[in-house]
Amino acid sequence: MGLTPMATLRGFVKTVAAEAACRTGADRLLAAMAAPAGEPLVLGYHQVVEDGARAEGCIPAMLVRARTLERHLEAVGRRCRFVSLDELGERLESGAPPDRPLAAVTFDDGYRDVYEHAFPLLRRKGIPAAVFVVTDLVGTSGLQRHDRAYRVLTGVLAEPGGAGRVEACLAHLRLPVPALLPVVAGVTVFSVLRALLEGLTASELEAVLEALDREGAAEGEDVAELQPLTWEMVGEMHRAGITIGSHSRTHPLLTHERRDRVRDELRRSRQELEGRLGAPVRHFAYPDGAFDADVVDEVAAAGYRFAYTTCRHRDARHPLLTVPRRLLWENSARDGAGRFSPAIMRCQVHGVFDLVSRCRRDHRRPERGRAWARPA
Share of the chain above pLDDT 90, in %: 58
Rounded to an integer, the average pLDDT of 102-128 is 97
**Residue 370: predicted pLDDT:** 42
Whether the per-residue pLDDT at 5 is higher than 70: the answer is no
Share of the chain above pLDDT 70, in %: 83
First-to-last alpha carbon distance for the chain, in angstroms, is 39
Q: Answer whether residue 324 is part of any domain.
A: yes
- For the stretch 21-76, pLDDT in tens is 677 776 665 555 556 666 899 999 999 999 877 788 899 999 999 999 999 999 99
Q: Indicate the SS3 state at residue 122.
A: helix
Return the CATH number at 39.
3.20.20.370
Whether the per-residue pLDDT at 198 is higher than 90: the answer is no
Lowest mean per-residue pLDDT among 61-65, 68-72, 96-100, 270-274: 96-100
Residue 224 binned pLDDT confidence (cut-offs 50, 70, 90) = confident
Show the domain range for 85: 5-141+227-355
Q: Which range, 4-18, 208-222, 306-320, has the best average confidence (pLDDT)?
A: 306-320
State whether 253 and 114 are in the same domain: yes
State whether 278 and 341 are in the same domain: yes
Rounded to an integer, the average pLDDT of 203-221 is 80
Q: Which residue has the higher pLDDT, 315 or 225?
A: 315
State whether 249 and 197 are in the same domain: no
Whether the per-residue pLDDT at 83 is higher than 50: the answer is yes
Among candidate residues 212, 237, 252, the one where a domain is terminated: 212
Query: What does pLDDT average to over the chain?
Result: 87
State whether 38 and 122 are in the same domain: yes
State whether 32 and 67 are in the same domain: yes
Q: How many domains does the chain have?
A: 2
**Residue 214: predicted pLDDT:** 72
Q: Answer whether residue 126 is part of any domain.
A: yes
Q: Answer whether residue 325 is part of any domain.
A: yes
CA Rg, the chain, in Å? 20
Rounded to an integer, the average pLDDT of 145-173 is 89
Contact 43, 105 (CB under 8 A): yes
Burial code of 7-38, b = ≥16 C-beta within 10 A, e = fewer? ebeebeebbebbbebbeeeebeebbeebbeee
**Residue 121: predicted pLDDT:** 97
State whether 185 and 293 are in the same domain: no
Q: Which residue has the higher pLDDT, 194 or 184?
A: 194
**Residue 9: predicted pLDDT:** 54
Q: Answer whether residue 376 is part of any domain.
A: no
Report the distance separating Cα 205 and Cα 218, nearest Å: 13
Whether the per-residue pLDDT at 82 is higher than 50: the answer is yes
| DSSP summary character for residue 111 | B
State whether 164 and 313 are in the same domain: no
State whether 178 and 278 are in the same domain: no
Its pTM stands at 0.91
Rounded to an integer, the average pLDDT of 319-327 is 96
Q: Answer whether residue 219 is part of any domain.
A: no
Residue 219 binned pLDDT confidence (cut-offs 50, 70, 90) = low
Separation of CA 357 from chain center: 16
State whether 60 and 134 are in the same domain: yes
Q: Which residue has the higher pLDDT, 185 or 64?
A: 64
**Residue 127: predicted pLDDT:** 98
Please provide the size of the chain in residues: 376
State whether 185 and 330 are in the same domain: no
Report the distance separating Cα 6 and Cα 213, nearest Å: 31
**Residue 7: predicted pLDDT:** 56
- For the stretch 227-248, pLDDT in tens is 999 999 999 999 999 999 999 9
Report the distance separating Cα 304 and Cα 35, nearest Å: 24
State whether 26 and 101 are in the same domain: yes
Q: Which residue has the higher pLDDT, 21 or 217?
A: 21
Q: How many CB atoms sit inside 10 A of residue 319's CB?
A: 10
Q: What share of the chain is helix, strand, coil (3-state, %, to 5)?
A: 45, 10, 40
**Residue 240: predicted pLDDT:** 97
Report the distance separating Cα 241 and Cα 122, nearest Å: 11
**Residue 181: predicted pLDDT:** 60
Q: Answer whether residue 136 is part of any domain.
A: yes
Q: Answer whether residue 57 is part of any domain.
A: yes
Q: Answer whether residue 373 is part of any domain.
A: no
**Residue 323: predicted pLDDT:** 97
Q: What does the DSSP assignment read for 253-308?
A: -GGGS-HHHHHHHHHHHHHHHHHHHSS---EEE-GGG---HHHHHHHHHTT-SEEE
State whether 127 and 156 are in the same domain: no
Residue 8 binned pLDDT confidence (cut-offs 50, 70, 90) = low
Contact 242, 105 (CB under 8 A): no
Whole-number Cα distances in Å, 218 to 96, 148, 188, 208, 213: 48, 5, 18, 12, 7
| DSSP summary character for residue 353 | G
